[in-house]
Amino acid sequence: MLRFIIDGYNLVHQISRIKKSANPCHQLLFYIYKNKLTGSKNNRVLVIFDGRQPPYDIGDFGYKILFSQGQSGDSLILSEVKKVKNKKEVLVVSDDRDLGYKAKMLGAGVWRIEKFIKKEKKIQKAGNNGGKEIRYSDQREITEELRRIWLDKELDPGC
């Protein structure tokens, strides 16, 4: 399972049709949901916006939404990264270089906005797969599962 922590307004400002929307927070959440940018439904998604929550309903699409409410969005993102025990599960999505550097120092992965929204994120699986595509997040889950299986197998002399 991956945990996406998304720098909300940083992403909003990279997608012109959302930036110009009357309700950019809602439009961003819908865009992420509609395009399945976070992969599996099992992945957790936290979208953090700078400032106060707007007076209208933005929806949630099953995502956790936070507004920084007087602190910086970046510091809230970093505090959320610190809360996660397994930092390898965390992907911070932002073009903020300073934030990305600090998140990496904490052990989280960092994706630039372009990588997150890129439609070519789906990668063809090698071999006889019937043309099925596997998302990066699914590939990572499979790799971790295989690592657990193989490490357990190597430790168990009865196998």
- Pair (126, 115) in one structural domain: no
What is the CATH number for 87? 3.40.50.1010
Whose tokens are 């949630």? That residue is 60
- Pair (53, 107) in one structural domain: yes
The tally of domains found in the chain comes to 2
State the Cα–Cα distance between residues 146 and 142, nearest whole angstrom. Answer: 6
Residue 59: count of CB within 10 angstroms of its CB: 15
- Pair (140, 76) in one structural domain: no
Q: pTM score > 0.85 for this model?
A: no
- Pair (97, 127) in one structural domain: no
Token couple for 69:
């409410």
Residue 44: count of CB within 10 angstroms of its CB: 16
User: How confident is the model over 15-55, as pLDDT tens digits?
Assistant: 888 988 888 999 999 999 988 999 888 899 999 999 888 87
- Pair (76, 23) in one structural domain: yes
- Pair (72, 52) in one structural domain: yes
User: How confident is the model over 45-68, as pLDDT tens digits?
Assistant: 999 999 888 877 888 889 999 999
Range of the domain at 70: 3-119
- Pair (10, 21) in one structural domain: yes
- Pair (115, 126) in one structural domain: no
- Pair (131, 156) in one structural domain: yes
- Pair (110, 126) in one structural domain: no
- Pair (32, 46) in one structural domain: yes
- Pair (30, 55) in one structural domain: yes
User: How confident is the model over 124-146, as pLDDT tens digits?
Assistant: 333 445 556 677 677 777 877 77
